[in-house]
Structure formats: C-alpha cells, structure tokens
Structure 1
Amino acid sequence: MTLAEACAEFLTHCRVAKNLSPHSLRAYTIDLAEFERFAGPATAVVAVDRPLLRRYLSHLFEVRRLKETSVKRRIACLKVMFRWLELDEVIEISPFHRLDARIRLPRRLPRNLTDDEVRRLRAAALAGAGIAGRVTEVKALRAARKAGHDAFTALVAVEVLLATGLRVGELAGMRVEDVDLTGRVITIVGKGSRQRRVFLPDDAVTALVTAYQGVTGARRRDHDRFLMTGTGGPASTQHLRLLIRQTGEEAQLSRRVTPHMLRHTAATRLLENGVDIRFVQRLLGHQSISTTEIYTTVTDASLRAAVIRAAEGMRALRR
C-alpha cells in the first residue's frame, strides 16, 4: 500500500467509522497531505521509518518554521494513522514505536477580557441591535424583529459565549432542538462527540435566545442550526468569528476579540466567583482537569494584582 492510498483509506475510516467532525476531517486532510508531499505519495507505508519521521520533524521546525502547537498537531495525526495501519495489520509495527517525538509546548496563559472590556463589548453589541438599558423580553423581541439580522446574531453570540464558555465550533453546531428554553439548558455535542449541558444563567440571556428563536424560524433554510446568516443559511465558525471581531472593533477595544477569548473570560469569571474547578471543567467540556487548571494561574495573577494595589494603598497611608 502506498502512502497516498493509506491516507485516503484512513480519512474514509475517520469519516465513516469514527464519525469525526468536518473540522477534524479538514485538519487531518491538510496534515496528511503535507506529509505526503514530504515523503512522496508513491512511498510504500512499510518504508516509513523512524529516520524519515525525524527528518520530517526537522523539516517542520527548521524549513517550515512552524510553532510547537502546529508541529504537535501534525505528528499526532500521523501517530493515529500509523496506529490504525498497525491494528489493521497493514504494517507490522508503527514507525512511532520507541520514537521520542515529544514536543514541549510553551505554557501560555489564556487571554481573557477585563471587566471594562466586557462592559464595552456588551454595550456595543446591545447598541448594534438597538437595545438601550436593561434587556427585557419585550425589548429583545422588538430588537429581533427590527435590528439587522447579523447585529442580533452578534449580540446573541457574545452573550451566550460569555454566559456558557462554549467553543465557537459548539456554538455554530448548536441545533434548534438542543435549546430547552423552559429549563434554560442547552445540550452541546463537544470534542469527541461527547455530550454535556450548559445553562442560561439569567433572564437577559434567556430573553435574547428566546427572541432569536422566535423570529428566525421562518427564515431558516433546509438546516437545523440555531444561529443563522442573514440569508437563512447556518452560521459558520468563520461567520461568528467575523461578527465578534467586528463587535470588538465597534467597542473600540485595543485588541482583536475572538470567540476563544470570551470562553477564557467565562471560565476565569466562574473561578474568581468561587465555582469549584470540577464544575468549571464540566461546563467547558474539558476531558482532563489539568486543562482547566490553566485558568487558576490567571486568577492567581488577578490576586497578585489585587495584593499589589492593596500594598500601594498601605504605602500611601505611611506618607
């Protein structure tokens, strides 16, 4: 079997047997195509060995100059494919066996918004949808009917992300039937097709989601996605990123706002308000609590800043 044939069969296996998401399939396709170009599509899979993989690692770092996260993703994809080939008895043993391909990732703190940035972002989203003052059911319904569709979608996206900490892919994949307005619960299908439930925490967010659902039903075209574009199609992750970035620009924030920043902000706020880290882990859909623990570093940073401010106040009293 050639490398090109193996990659094609593996992608079919991922789509049919593993039922991977379109996003994961797209990433696998890109990563495998890159390795094919490097090793040669006609190369026999049994000829892929540790020296070839080491050369590929060097190529990714030294020629492509990719970041550690990008290299780690490409190597992880290859590991999964060769493990599948081994289990399917196409090869006797994976070339990754006893290959030290561990890649240490730099520890980066999540980028979350400050309280002032959250206020300004929300204010811009509300203004864009034509809502002034406190959000009520009447105001939300009026805005849903009169505001531009994208403006109201942006408002709902911002509020739901800040309230729930969803990933943008989960928000885009949310179906109408997943939203239980009576129980204020949204069922989410996250990474690895794992289901979890998140909650709409207050009347304002619930009113916005209710109004959106009530007004958009007739516009929906041949799909079951909750969030839509102005033409009635499902809102993609790219579309939602654009709406949130534009809302950040309208709020005149000094940095570019992304959906993941809103997820980080939601997680940080929950921990700072005393929510148990295990509950935050469940809400965010983290498989390992170590992933959630990165946010405790952020709250420690907030604590340090508060202590420094308090110390400065004490010094002022000595003068």
Structure 2
Amino acid sequence: MTESVTPLPDSLIRPLERFYEYLRSEKGLSLHTQRNYKQQLGAMAEHLCQLGVRHWQQVDAGWVRQLASKGMRDGMKASSLATRLSSLRSFFDFLILRGELSANPAKGVSAPRKQRPLPKNLDVDEMAQLLEVDEDDPLSIRDRAMMELMYGAGLRLAELVAIDVRDISLRSGEIRVLGKGNKERKVPFAGQAKEWVGRWLKVRSALLKGPEPALFISKLGGRISHRSVQKRMAEWGQKQSVASHISPHKLRHSFATHMLESSNNLRAVQELLGHENISTTQIYTHLDFQHLAQVYDQAHPRAHKKSKE
C-alpha cells in the first residue's frame, strides 16, 4: 500500500508558488538549486500540513526545530539538512519582503555541523605532467586549452563552459566570467593559458557546423557540455599517467592552492576565485598550521620573547 499524502491547502501552496517564481525570475538561481528548494520546501509543507498547520504564519522556531529533528530521524545527511533549513530561511525572508511575515523563525535554528572534506589538489609536477599534451589535432588542442585555462584562471566548470568567444581578449589577457548568482567578474590569464587558447581559436573553425558563440565547442559543433569536459579531463589524466583522478574542480583547487602558496594573499585569491565569503576560500586552501604559526611569530609584535638583560 502506498502512503496517502495529505493534500496541501492553497494557504500553504500559493506562497510557495510565488517564491519559486521569485527564485526563477529575480534571483537567477540555477535550475539545480531551484529544484532543491522546491523538493525541500514541498517535503516540509507536507509534514506541517499533516501536523495541522494551515498557514506559514503559524510556524515558529519550535516548528522549525521539529522539522530539523524529523530530518535527522529520517537519516538525512548533515549537508541535506543544512540545505533544507537554508531553503526555509530564504522562503521566510521572501515572506518578510512581501510583508506577510514580521520575523524569520528559522534564523536561530542551525543544522548540525558537518565535516567538510578538503578537496585534494595536484602538485606542480603533476600539473606539468597532465598538461604536457603534444598532440596537434583540434580536439587535443581544445582539451589542453580548457585545462590550461581552468588551471591558469581558477575557473569553475560552469564558468568555463559558459564562456563565449566575445568574452575573451587575448590582447589584454582578460576573460569576462559569469559566476554564481549571475555575478560578473573579469579574470586575468596569461602564459600557457593564453598561448593555448590562441592556438585553439586558430583551429576552432574546423569543428564549427554553423554560427556558435561558445568558446569551447564539441566535435558536433555546439557548446561543449559539462559532462564532456569532465570525461575528457579524466581521460587525459589516465593518458598522461597522472596518479590521481583528474576533475575540473581539482584543477580549480590546484590553482587556488598554488596561488596562495606563492603569494600568501588570501584576499586576492578570493577575488580570483569569485568567492563571496573569504571563509570559502579558506576551506579551498589548506594552509598548514605550521606555516600560519611561522607567519604569526614573524609578524606579531608581542610574539617575540624579550631577551634577558
């Protein structure tokens, strides 16, 4: 027997529908994020309805804690529970914005802390081994240009795929990138990245089948897909005998790590990566404590012991 689902009243459904339209038309969130919000909020609305809640204005911090507790009892991962509470906070913020709520009952309720594994990076020698692509067919040139650009500019996979030819300037060494939340930024690139993008632009027409604005295209002539980039990079990792699995994210993290090790400028790396919060950059860049202790000992005016007279 299938479990019967309590039909949701309009008083719960309509505000959610307005929120989904707001996410789509005004916030510019990705379809993946929109689907996550819809799934999480729908599940919470059903649970509240089963408990007799008919209006969002009835929900207080106690109800929110009960929703979090149910998620934990159902075996939700900490990351999924954090997404659930985040979607609820965003929804209540929307109701406050529309004057339908005076305070956000989910603000003070937090998900249990989750351990965030540090992404692994390639060392400089492994990067050199991966990027030593000497084949001169158009697809190999394209792949090396993509990898050089991801490592040379620290791009996200979605940012790389979305680049159009008009977004890139070889002369000035700049790329116009559309990051998370449709936030635009300019990213510098130089050296090998610049050289191989230039080489790719010279052979790109060999794969074109018609008008196509995308910088990186597939062998069918259209914009290359996320999955194709992931697949090609993994294949190059095996072909170049690199010990660890190669992914676009690993190239981005390697960029962040190597830039930070060379510059010690966390704020600049934050800007280059397009992180809104510096705490995100700190997670990507695993400076060891010994290095931080050395910086402290050298820089802090009261870190040095006074010599005995």
**Which of the five TM-score ranges fits, normalised by the shorter chain?**
0.7 to 0.9
TM-superposed deviation, 1:92: 4.6
Residue 298 of structure 2 is aligned to residue 287 of structure 1: no
- What is the CA RMSD across the aligned residues, in angstroms? 3.0
Which of 276-285 and 31-40 deviates more?
31-40
Indicate the residue corresponding to 1:134 in structure 2.
none
* Pair 1:212 & 2:200 matched: yes
Aligned to 2:178: 189
Structure 1: state its 5+ residue gaps: 131-142, 305-319
Query: Alignment partner for residue 53 of structure 1, among 64, 69, 87?
Result: 64
CA distance in 2, matches of 1:77, 1:16: 17
The Cα shift of 1:25 comes to 3.0
Corresponding residue SS for 2:216 = coil
Tell me by how many angstroms 1:79 deviates.
Answer: 0.7
**Counterparts of 2:89 and 2:232, CA distance in 1:** 36
Cα distance, 1:176 vs structure 2: 1.6
Q: Pick closer, same or farther for the CA change 1:9–1:206 going to 2, 3 Å.
A: same
Q: Aligned partners of 1:30, 1:161: CA distance in 2, in Å? A: 32
* Partner in structure 2 of residue 168 of structure 1: 157
1:233 aligns to 2:222 (yes or no): yes
Corresponding residue for residue 260 of structure 1: 249
Match of 2:14 in 1: 5
Change (3 A) 1:103 1:43: same
CA 43–121 in structure 1, closer or farther in 2 if over 3 Å, else same? farther
Cα gap change, 1:241 to 1:300, in 2 (>3 Å): farther
Matched, 1:177 2:187: no
- Give the partner amino acid of 1:77: S
Under a length normalisation based on structure 2, what TM-score does the superposition of the two structures give?
0.78
Counterpart position of 1:310: none
Aligned-partner Cα distance in 2 for 1:223–1:27: 31
1:85-234 to 2 correspondence within 5 Å?
A: 85-97=95-107, 99-123=108-132, 126-127=133-134, 130=135, 143=136, 146-147=137-138, 149=139, 151-202=140-191, 204-217=192-205, 219=208, 223-234=212-223
Please, which of 82, 97, 108 is the counterpart of residue 92 of structure 2? 82
Contact 2:27 2:181 in 1 (8 A): no
Q: How far is the alpha carbon of 1:36 from its aligned partner?
A: 4.4
Contact 1:179 / 1:186 at 8 angstroms: preserved in 2? yes
Give the direction of change, closer, same or farther, for the CA distance of 1:252–1:301 in structure 2 (3 Å limit): farther
The residue type equivalent to 1:208 in the other structure is W
More displaced stretch, 46-55 vs 258-267:
46-55
- CA displacement at 1:190 relative to structure 2: 1.4
Compare 233-242 and 21-30 and name the one that shifted more: 21-30
Instruction: Give SS of 1:186's match.
Output: strand
Q: Quote the offset at 1:246 in angstroms.
A: 2.4
Question: Partners of 1:113 and 1:58 in 2: how far apart?
Answer: 40
Higher helix fraction: Structure 1 or Structure 2?
1
Partner of 2:195: helix, strand, or coil? helix
Q: CA deviation at 1:13?
A: 0.9
| Structure 2 gaps, min length 5 | 1-9, 294-309
In 2, distance between residues paired with 1:103 and 1:232? 47
Deviations 1:200-240 (A, max 9, x none): 220x3222212323333571656532222222222232332
| Identity between Structure 1 and Structure 2 (%) | 27
Give SS of 2:131's match: helix
Residue 283 of structure 1 aligns to a residue whose secondary structure is: helix
Tell me the SS of whatever aligns to 1:219.
coil
Cα separation, 2, equivalents of 1:253 and 1:30: 39
